[in-house]
Amino acid sequence: MARILLAEDDVAVCDFVRRALEMDGHDVIPVHDGGEALERLVSPLEEFDLLLSDIRMPVMDGIALALQAARDLPELPILLMTGYAEHRDRAYGLETLIKGIIQKPFTLAQIREEVASALEEAAPLGSGGSEY
């Protein structure tokens, strides 16, 4: 399955999302601020299949993180999460850079479905996706 970098400062939400995605066999690496997420993303020792980030976080917010990640790793799919309408509105200029914005609160099924969809969209043809 996929290796996912999860950037979320709320420990309860982070644990919920991590457990939900691990149910699908994903390897989830949690971090609690945008600065730490960026360090992990650009590390030559690590490779990720998806960045899943909250928008509102300390050090570096999810929008700044998404912009940096899209510049440095243009092939990396990015999903953002937010519980704040004004933050969702700020992310609307990023449609070409991100796979979507997940509105909090979400259910276990919703987060699993959004991640599966983002990973499927990002998968190159012939890499295990459905063949027609």
- Domain limits of the chain? 3-122
How many percent of the chain have pLDDT more than 90? 73
- Asked whether the predicted pLDDT for residue 130 surpasses 50, the reply is no
pTM of the model: 0.88
What phi, psi does 30 have (nearest 5°)? Answer: -85, 140
- Asked whether the predicted pLDDT for residue 43 surpasses 90, the reply is yes
Determine the pLDDT at residue 132: 29
Q: Which residues contact 1 (CB under 8 A, 6 or more apart)?
A: 24, 25, 26, 27
Three-point CA angle 95, 16, 31, nearest 5°: 65
CATH number of 3-122: 3.40.50.2300
Average pLDDT over residues 71-94: 77
Determine the pLDDT at residue 83: 82
Q: Which residues contact 96 (CB under 8 A, 6 or more apart)?
A: none
- Asked whether the predicted pLDDT for residue 85 surpasses 80, the reply is no
Write down the mean pLDDT value for the chain.
88
Cα–Cα dist 30/8, whole Å? 7
Determine the pLDDT at residue 128: 46
